Amino acid sequence: MPRTEWRLAGDWLKNCNCAFGCPCDFNARPTHGDCDAVIGMRIARGHFGDISLDGLAFAAVFRFPGALHEGNGAVQPIIDARADASQRDALLAILSGQHSDEGTLFHIFSVIVSRMLEPVFAPIAFTFDLDGRSARLAVPGILTTETSPIRNPVTGAPHRIQVLMPDGFEHRRAEIASARIESTGGLPFRVAEGHSSLARVEQTQAGIAA
């Protein structure tokens, strides 16, 4: 199948049910044996072929029964309600991994996910403060996830830590924080306190550019 050139640059969020410091980044197994997670992106600049994706957002809710590399995951994509029909198709095409090189982020998703729920087209509220380790992504009736700084257990002061991944396929540098998730859509779960990665990324069909 002919592939379309694409690029997405913007704010990236990954929240999951693991302890701080996502084990996936260290090739380790999930903290609790399974993985409940949310990804989201607010696109500052983006395109799929000649279709502009500037200013749109998307998210996806995931559930895996074990480690991600073992597969059998389920996903529900969520696409910004502001996207027109061509933009919706473009974002779903990117998320499908069919227009990405082998071993890149969305291609990997396509390999490890065995069940894809019908996409949701809904308003996405997305706030993001990288330096403040603070973010919020909300989809009415479907999803609310919030990121806040990790707190020192003795003093309560905000704790700052970063993960640097020179060969990372999701991001190169991320702020690590604390996550809360309320997923009430097709893949319901609740995370009272889990891991959050916040990053600014630039993804292409050939992999991460920044």
The answer as to whether 1 is a domain residue is no
Range of the domain at 179: 6-208
Whether 62 contacts 68, CB under 8 Å: no
- State the pLDDT at residue 2: 80
The answer as to whether 176 is a domain residue is yes
For the chain, the domain total comes to 1
The answer as to whether 121 is a domain residue is yes
The answer as to whether 154 is a domain residue is yes
Task: Decide: helix, strand or coil at residue 91.
Answer: helix
Kindly list the averaged pLDDT for each block of 10 residues, start to end, along the chain of length 210.
Answer: 92 98 94 97 98 98 96 97 98 97 95 96 98 98 98 96 96 98 98 98 93
Distance CA 193, CA 66 (A): 19
The answer as to whether 112 is a domain residue is yes
The answer as to whether 91 is a domain residue is yes
Positions of E strands within the chain: 6-16, 35-48, 51-52, 57-64, 73-80, 113-116, 120-122, 125-129, 134-139, 143-148, 150-151, 158-159, 162-164, 173-183, 189-204, 207-208
pTM for the model stands at 0.96
- State the pLDDT at residue 1: 61
